[in-house]
Amino acid sequence: MMTKRTGEPTPRRPRCDECWDIKRRRAQALERGDLQRAVSLTGEMGAHLRVAHP
């Protein structure tokens, strides 16, 4: 992601524990071929990001 004014990369914040957990569970679902669960976790991550990291 780039900043609007300078074109420089936007500094990233480290992932919180919940982000890591959702990401890990989604990766596990994909490894098992459980696409329905992976899609669900994608939505869960989106909701988490909106609430926890506004």
Looking up tokens 């994909």, which residue turns up?
Answer: 30
Tens digit of each residue's pLDDT, the chain (54 residues)? 445 666 777 777 778 999 999 999 999 999 999 999 999 999 999 999 999 988
Q: Rounded to a whole number, what is the distance in angstroms from the first to the last CA of the chain?
A: 16
* Tokens found for residue 26: 């989604």
Domain boundaries, the chain: 17-52
pTM for the model: 0.73
Tell me the C-alpha to C-alpha distance, in Å, between residue 31 and each of 1, 6, 11, 18, 19. 28, 39, 30, 20, 18
User: What is the full DSSP assignment across 4-43?
Assistant: TTT-PBPPPPPPPHHHHHHHHHHHHHHHHT-HHHHHHHHH
